[in-house]
Amino acid sequence: MENWQKTFLETLICLEELSDYFSMDLDSLNPVVERYPFRVTRYYFNLIQEPYDPIWRQCIPDLEEIKDLESPIDPLNERKFSPVPFLIHRYPDRVVLLVSPTCPTLCRFCTRKHYVRNNPLPMKSNPVEEAIEYVEKKPEIRDVILSGGDPLLLSDEELDGILKRLRKIPHLEIVRIHTRMPVTFPMRITLSLCRMLKTHHPLYLNTHFNHPLEITPQSSEACIRLADAGIPLGNQTVLLRGVNDDPGVMKQLVQKLLILRVRPYYIHQLDRVRGTRHFRTSVGRGLTIISGLRGHTSGIAIPQYVIDLPGGKGKVPLLPEDVKKEGKTYFLRNYLGEVVEYQDEED
């Protein structure tokens, strides 16, 4: 095992510790964690300052998760856009490759919360052979996004193997890695990982900070190491009720990210996945946040606020000045020029 894997395993929080630290009633949580597994790194857990703070809400199981029975399991219709296992091909020129079945910390709001598992380590990658052959056969694919789960939960060796396979494909221009590792287990960003990654340029990395509390000396060091390896860094934030649905919090977050050489890329409207209803915010909240940034901070600090349209119709960026709305219905035009109706949430 690689050293970081040992540390990772030795320091995971066990469920019983929740009752030790916060005197939580574990019996009442059992139905939640049986449905949606629990996993939190000690590093991330230690960022909690008090119950129900922004870190707590992201990682501690909540009874609300199993009260949400109406929302769909696959609102983006990813199944329909999956021609071979572990690959999502929705846009013509780019695909998502699901290399890893799990993440270091399982976020309670996760879009894939029905698929991610609490796999033991050392963990095998998903069997992506067929998916890589698919990319080889399609010259129109120029961009592969490694996602999961978290690709950086694979060992350096296994990840290197997958990247080498991909780099042999002549028509593949760029590879992007989507990982929350700098946020929830920054010790994974070792110098040997960075040395390996920089042999596979042009490589981009998008991470996922949701709150300024997540910017610590350790997560900062992780980002600095990746940036020093010449990897352009982006950040995707998910808009979450009770976590970051506030213009002041978002402004602080995006400005702190720039100091770490991380460029804010997207703020995502939360997908309507079953088990996450208690995190939803209205679209108006997102637009207020964008209005609070535009003109009030550096242009490069401002991410695009996007809704991933239900049914897999694509991501649409929203700007406060050009949204079309009637009552609670937004009319959103996707990249194919289709106008899609989107019903807003209660505020």
Ligand X SMILES: *Cc1c(COP(=O)(O)O)cnc(C)c1O
90 is catalytic: yes
Instruction: Provide φ and ψ at 161, rounded to 5°.
Output: -60, -45
91 forms part of the interface with ligand X (CB under 6 A): yes
SS3 call for 325: strand
Q: How many residues bind ligand X (CB under 6 A)?
A: 7
Q: Which does 180 bind (CB under 5 to 8 A by kind): ligand X, ligand SF4, none?
A: ligand SF4
Residues 96, 153, 197, 301: which binds ligand X (CB under 6 A)? Answer: 96
Of 180, 307, 297, nearest to 247 (Cα)? 297
112 forms part of the interface with ligand SF4 (CB under 6 A): yes
Closer residue to ligand SF4, CB minimum distance, 253 or 332: 253
SS3 call for 329: strand
Q: What's the CA angle centered on 248, arms 246 and 251, to 5 degrees?
A: 110
Q: Which two tokens stand for residue 311?
A: 């049914």
Q: Which two tokens stand for residue 331?
A: 């009319």
82 to 96, 126, 262, 312: CA distances (angstroms)? 10, 15, 31, 11
Closer residue to ligand X, CB minimum distance, 148 or 212: 148
223 is catalytic: no
- Least distance (Å) from ligand SF4 to the CB of residue 106? 5
Alpha-carbon dihedral angle through residues 122, 123, 125, 127, given to the nearest 10 degrees = 120
Closer residue to ligand SF4, CB minimum distance, 112 or 225: 112
Intra-chain end-to-end CA distance of the chain, in Å: 48
112 is catalytic: yes
Specify the amino acid at residue 88: I
Catalytic residue among 94, 198, 261, 325: 94
Catalytic residue among 39, 271, 285, 305: 271
14 is catalytic: no
Given the rule CB under 6 A, which of 109-117, 222-230, 282-290, 307-315 is the region that contacts ligand SF4? 109-117
Q: Per-residue string for binding with ligand X, 229-268, x by CB under 6 A?
A: ----------------------------------------
Catalytic residue among 165, 167, 315, 325: 315
Sign of the dihedral through C-alpha 181, 185, 186, 191: negative
SS3 call for 136: helix
308 forms part of the interface with ligand SF4 (CB under 6 A): no
DSSP class of residue 12 equals: B
94 forms part of the interface with ligand X (CB under 6 A): yes
CA 3 to chain centroid, in Å, comes to 25
Continuous H helices in 49-176: 54-59, 64-67, 129-137, 156-167
91 is catalytic: yes
103 is catalytic: yes
Closer residue to ligand X, CB minimum distance, 135 or 145: 145
144 forms part of the interface with ligand SF4 (CB under 6 A): no
138 forms part of the interface with ligand X (CB under 6 A): no
- Least distance (Å) from ligand X to the CB of residue 10? 35
Closer residue to ligand SF4, CB minimum distance, 107 or 233: 107
330 is catalytic: no
40 forms part of the interface with ligand SF4 (CB under 6 A): no
Question: CB count, 10 Å around CB of 48?
Answer: 20
Closer residue to ligand SF4, CB minimum distance, 155 or 236: 236
Give the C-alpha separation, 61 to 40, whole Å. Answer: 10
CB 95, CB 88: distance < 8 Å: yes
Catalytic residue among 107, 150, 156, 225: 107
315 is catalytic: yes
Give the C-alpha separation, 238 to 15, whole Å. Answer: 25
- Least distance (Å) from ligand SF4 to the CB of residue 36? 10
Q: What's the CA angle centered on 277, arms 269 and 13, to 5 degrees?
A: 95
Using CB under 6 A as the binding rule, the residues of this chain from 296 to 315 that contact ligand X are 315
* Catalytically active residues, by annotation: 90-91, 94, 103, 107, 110, 112, 271, 308, 315
Where do contacts with ligand SF4 occur on this chain (CB under 6 A)?
A: 103, 106-107, 110, 112, 116, 150, 180, 208
